[in-house]
Amino acid sequence: MPAAHAPFLDLPTEEFREILRENRIPGYRAGQVRRWVFARKTFAFDEMTDISKSDRAKLSGLFGNTLFSGKLVTQTGSEDGTQKILLEWPDRHRVESVLLRDDRGHRTGCISTQVGCAMGCRFCASGLDGFVRNLSRGEILEQILRLNALLPDPQRLTHLVIMGTGEPTLNLDALLAALAEATAADGLDIGNRRVTISTVGIPAGIDKMTAADLPYKLAVSLHAADDATRNKIIPQNQHCGIRAVLAAADRYFAQTGRRVTFEYILIAGVNDSGADALRLAKLLDRKTAIVNVIPYNPVPELEWKSPAPRAVESFVRALTQAGIQVKVRFRKGDDINAACGQLRRSYRIS
């Protein structure tokens, strides 16, 4: 039976309360449902045992039995503890989300914001099939809740990174609405400072984040230190250029006080030379920047290659010697194609 209302996770609590009122269900049920969903990882109304049977039946009638609108297509686990899920929405489009764990006890959800991506970065698998549509607030929240529920109690997600498929600043309203629930004290209560939004670097999009003035961490996918190289691998750069991206990042820092991370994937022979490292150091000179160096994760359909470990080392050394704060991020979940937009493609609808 199709649900009579918008999916539960798409509804702000006030709207949910309104629906309860219309159906003569007491308003305090809203708080009870929230506790089941966020604190108890329970998503089926008929399992919410402190709600009367008749109200449970009414709620199931209104929203369907589960609060989720997606269907779990596959779930894969990696030897390093990374788990990946592929969800299919009622329109049959699919997105992937990843749970990463590390030895510091961080349990991080990596979330998608769009089906496909319009940015068409040449090295990235996510944009190979172009852009399909934005995800809704509920679809973004569902990924977060499902990853959280993969963790055995009492474990919870500690961090979120918006680094799945899609360009978050082009679907910012839905993303921020979902993140508001993920960070709310009566939601998942994940600290604002533990949420990282990664953008390709659209100045107007970054400015929109600045205007929202939330203390989320901003990561900018820089990947090159000169416009000629960046234009080649990130078509979006042709519209704005690196300087405008950096200026927008500076405004974000000035407004929020949060240092911006610049992601830099190292692609063999493209952006990994000593000269590239020096150019990058110069570009970020005097900036309160952190550089996240990530060896490129090869995509089967594409020709780009990861640099040799020695090239990674010397790139990092050059940056460090120039006084730049650098972190190297090694990829996780390689053996389950969790690294970048690869699962959705390997399970395509034919």
By beta-carbon proximity to ligand SAH, the closer residue of 143 and 198 is 198
- Residue 158 binding ligand SAH, by CB under 6 A: no
Among 82, 148, 221, 256, binds ligand SAH (CB under 6 A): 221
- Residue 167 binding ligand SAH, by CB under 6 A: yes
Among 68, 123, 216, 252, binds ligand SAH (CB under 6 A): 123
- Residue 263 binding ligand SAH, by CB under 6 A: yes
Q: Which stretch in 38-46, 172-180, 196-204, 273-281 sits in contact with ligand SAH by CB under 6 A?
A: 196-204
- Residue 199 binding ligand SAH, by CB under 6 A: yes
Nearest CA-CA partner of 98 in 120, 117, 74: 74
3-state DSSP call for residue 246?
helix
Residue 159, beta-bridge partner list: 108
Among 183, 198, 210, 229, binds ligand SAH (CB under 6 A): 198
CB of 269 to ligand SAH, least distance (A): 15
- Dihedral pair phi/psi, residue 131, rounded to 5°: -95, 140
Nearest CA-CA partner of 262 in 284, 236, 244: 284
Pairing mode of beta strands 159-162, 107-110: parallel
d(CA 272, CA 257): 30
By beta-carbon proximity to ligand SAH, the closer residue of 150 and 340 is 340
CB of 307 to ligand SAH, least distance (A): 12
By beta-carbon proximity to ligand SAH, the closer residue of 67 and 176 is 176
- Residue 283 binding ligand SAH, by CB under 6 A: no
Binding mask 42-81 for ligand SAH (x = CB under 6 A): ----------------------------------------
Contact partners, residue 29, CB within 8 Å, separation at least 6: 20, 51, 55, 59
3-state DSSP call for residue 150?
helix
- Residue 50 half-sphere exposure toward CB, CA atoms < 13 A: 11
By CB neighbour count within 10 A (0-12 exposed, 13-18 middle, 19+ buried), where does 301 fall?
Answer: exposed
DSSP 170-233: GGHHHHHHHHHHHHSTTTT---GGGEEEEE---HHHHHHHHHHT--PEEEEE---SSHHHHHHH
CA 103 to chain centre: 21
- Residue 271 binding ligand SAH, by CB under 6 A: no
- Residue 289 binding ligand SAH, by CB under 6 A: no
Q: Which stretch in 80-88, 116-124, 130-138, 206-214 sits in contact with ligand SAH by CB under 6 A?
A: 116-124
Among 9, 294, 316, 338, binds ligand SAH (CB under 6 A): 294
Active site residues: 96, 340
Q: How many residues bind ligand SAH (CB under 6 A)?
A: 16
Q: Summarize as ranges the residues that interact with ligand SAH (CB under 6 A).
A: 121, 123-124, 163, 167, 198-200, 221, 263, 265, 294, 296-297, 299, 340
